A and B are shown apart, each in its own frame.
Chain A
Amino acid sequence: MLTHEYKVEMTCSGCSGAVTRILSKKLTEPGSKFDVNLEAKTVTITSDLPEATLTEMLKKCGKEVTYIGSK
Protein backbone atom coordinates (compact mmCIF):
# COMPACT_ATOMS: atom_id res chain seq x y z
CA MET A 1 0.00 0.00 0.00
CA LEU A 2 1.26 3.40 -0.95
CA THR A 3 1.13 6.44 1.31
CA HIS A 4 0.13 9.54 -0.66
CA GLU A 5 0.56 13.10 0.61
CA TYR A 6 -1.61 16.04 -0.48
CA LYS A 7 -1.71 19.77 0.26
CA VAL A 8 -5.37 20.80 0.81
CA GLU A 9 -6.34 24.45 1.34
CA MET A 10 -8.23 23.91 4.59
CA THR A 11 -8.83 27.16 6.44
CA CYS A 12 -10.70 25.99 9.53
CA SER A 13 -11.75 22.99 11.61
CA GLY A 14 -14.98 22.91 9.64
CA CYS A 15 -13.07 22.24 6.44
CA SER A 16 -10.78 19.63 8.01
CA GLY A 17 -13.91 18.05 9.53
CA ALA A 18 -15.47 17.93 6.06
CA VAL A 19 -12.39 16.27 4.56
CA THR A 20 -12.30 13.78 7.44
CA ARG A 21 -15.96 12.92 6.92
CA ILE A 22 -15.53 12.51 3.14
CA LEU A 23 -12.54 10.18 3.57
CA SER A 24 -14.17 8.12 6.32
CA LYS A 25 -17.24 7.61 4.11
CA LYS A 26 -15.41 6.95 0.83
CA LEU A 27 -12.17 5.25 1.95
CA THR A 28 -13.63 1.91 2.99
CA GLU A 29 -11.18 -0.72 1.77
CA PRO A 30 -9.55 -2.70 4.62
CA GLY A 31 -6.11 -1.50 5.68
CA SER A 32 -6.55 1.98 4.21
CA LYS A 33 -6.12 4.90 6.60
CA PHE A 34 -5.77 8.66 6.42
CA ASP A 35 -4.58 11.60 8.51
CA VAL A 36 -5.82 15.18 8.19
CA ASN A 37 -3.44 17.87 9.47
CA LEU A 38 -5.15 21.28 9.58
CA GLU A 39 -2.13 23.31 10.76
CA ALA A 40 0.13 21.95 8.03
CA LYS A 41 -2.83 21.88 5.57
CA THR A 42 -1.80 18.37 4.52
CA VAL A 43 -3.74 15.11 4.12
CA THR A 44 -1.88 11.79 4.15
CA ILE A 45 -3.69 8.73 2.76
CA THR A 46 -2.49 5.12 2.84
CA SER A 47 -4.46 3.14 0.28
CA ASP A 48 -4.35 0.83 -2.76
CA LEU A 49 -6.53 3.22 -4.76
CA PRO A 50 -4.80 5.01 -7.65
CA GLU A 51 -3.66 8.55 -6.88
CA ALA A 52 -6.14 10.04 -9.41
CA THR A 53 -9.10 8.49 -7.56
CA LEU A 54 -7.87 9.89 -4.26
CA THR A 55 -7.35 13.33 -5.77
CA GLU A 56 -10.90 13.26 -7.15
CA MET A 57 -12.21 12.25 -3.70
CA LEU A 58 -10.43 15.15 -2.02
CA LYS A 59 -11.54 17.68 -4.64
CA LYS A 60 -15.14 16.89 -3.65
CA CYS A 61 -14.73 19.10 -0.59
CA GLY A 62 -14.48 22.10 -2.92
CA LYS A 63 -11.00 23.04 -1.72
CA GLU A 64 -7.82 23.37 -3.77
CA VAL A 65 -5.92 20.05 -3.77
CA THR A 66 -2.24 19.69 -4.75
CA TYR A 67 -0.53 16.29 -4.95
CA ILE A 68 2.81 16.35 -3.12
CA GLY A 69 3.97 12.77 -3.68
CA SER A 70 3.91 9.24 -2.36
CA LYS A 71 6.26 7.43 0.01
Chain B
Amino acid sequence: MACDTKEIMISITGMTCNSCVKTIESEVGKENGIHKIKVSLENMNAKVSFDPQVLTNKDVVELIEDLGFDAEVET
Protein backbone atom coordinates (compact mmCIF):
# COMPACT_ATOMS: atom_id res chain seq x y z
CA MET B 1 0.00 0.00 0.00
CA ALA B 2 1.39 3.40 -0.83
CA CYS B 3 2.72 4.81 2.38
CA ASP B 4 1.36 8.32 2.06
CA THR B 5 2.68 10.98 4.35
CA LYS B 6 1.11 14.24 5.39
CA GLU B 7 3.27 17.02 6.80
CA ILE B 8 1.96 19.75 9.11
CA MET B 9 3.46 22.52 11.23
CA ILE B 10 2.27 22.69 14.83
CA SER B 11 2.97 25.71 17.02
CA ILE B 12 3.83 24.68 20.60
CA THR B 13 3.84 26.92 23.67
CA GLY B 14 5.29 26.00 27.04
CA MET B 15 8.66 24.67 25.96
CA THR B 16 11.58 26.36 27.69
CA CYS B 17 14.56 24.07 27.29
CA ASN B 18 16.04 21.33 25.22
CA SER B 19 14.86 18.56 27.52
CA CYS B 20 11.25 19.51 26.66
CA VAL B 21 12.16 19.26 22.96
CA LYS B 22 13.73 15.82 23.49
CA THR B 23 10.68 14.65 25.50
CA ILE B 24 8.24 15.70 22.77
CA GLU B 25 10.34 14.21 19.97
CA SER B 26 10.79 10.88 21.76
CA GLU B 27 7.23 10.54 23.12
CA VAL B 28 5.44 11.61 19.90
CA GLY B 29 8.03 9.84 17.76
CA LYS B 30 7.15 6.43 19.16
CA GLU B 31 3.42 6.75 18.44
CA ASN B 32 2.36 4.58 15.48
CA GLY B 33 1.49 6.58 12.43
CA ILE B 34 4.13 9.23 13.19
CA HIS B 35 6.93 9.09 10.59
CA LYS B 36 9.09 12.02 11.61
CA ILE B 37 8.93 14.91 14.10
CA LYS B 38 11.37 17.83 14.29
CA VAL B 39 10.78 20.26 17.15
CA SER B 40 12.28 23.75 16.98
CA LEU B 41 12.69 25.51 20.34
CA GLU B 42 13.60 28.87 18.75
CA ASN B 43 10.45 29.28 16.66
CA MET B 44 8.31 27.30 19.13
CA ASN B 45 6.91 24.84 16.63
CA ALA B 46 7.30 21.33 15.30
CA LYS B 47 7.27 19.83 11.82
CA VAL B 48 5.43 16.50 11.96
CA SER B 49 5.09 14.03 9.09
CA PHE B 50 2.58 11.26 9.73
CA ASP B 51 0.32 8.73 8.01
CA PRO B 52 -3.11 10.41 7.48
CA GLN B 53 -4.73 6.95 7.35
CA VAL B 54 -3.72 6.38 10.97
CA LEU B 55 -3.86 9.88 12.49
CA THR B 56 -5.62 13.18 11.84
CA ASN B 57 -4.22 16.66 12.51
CA LYS B 58 -6.25 16.73 15.72
CA ASP B 59 -4.77 13.42 16.95
CA VAL B 60 -1.26 14.78 16.51
CA VAL B 61 -2.16 17.97 18.40
CA GLU B 62 -3.69 15.89 21.19
CA LEU B 63 -0.50 13.80 21.44
CA ILE B 64 1.47 16.96 22.19
CA GLU B 65 -1.16 18.37 24.53
CA ASP B 66 -1.14 15.09 26.47
CA LEU B 67 2.50 15.87 27.22
CA GLY B 68 1.40 19.06 28.93
CA PHE B 69 2.14 21.61 26.20
CA ASP B 70 -0.33 23.82 24.36
CA ALA B 71 -0.38 22.96 20.66
CA GLU B 72 -2.32 24.02 17.56
CA VAL B 73 -1.92 23.42 13.85
CA GLU B 74 -0.34 26.34 12.01
CA THR B 75 -2.64 27.05 9.08
- Interface positions of A (Cβ within 8 A of B): 11-15, 17-22, 60-63
Chain A contacts for B69, CB-based, 8 A: 18, 21
Per the CB 8 Å criterion, the residue count for chain B at the interface is 15
User: Contact: A15 with B20, CB < 8 Å?
Assistant: yes
* Count of chain A to chain B residue pairs whose CB atoms are closer than 8 Å in the complex: 47
User: Contact: A11 with B17, CB < 8 Å?
Assistant: yes
Q: Which of B19, B26, B70 touches A12 (beta carbons < 8 Å)?
A: B19
Cβ-closest chain B residue relative to A62 = B23
Chain A contact residues: helix, strand, loop or mixed: helix
Chain B contacts for A14, CB-based, 8 A: 14-17, 19-20
Q: Which of B19, B27, B66, B70 touches A15 (beta carbons < 8 Å)?
A: B19
- Interface positions of B (Cβ within 8 A of A): 14-17, 19-20, 23-24, 26-27, 66-70
User: Contact: A63 with B66, CB < 8 Å?
Assistant: no
Cβ-closest chain B residue relative to A19 = B68
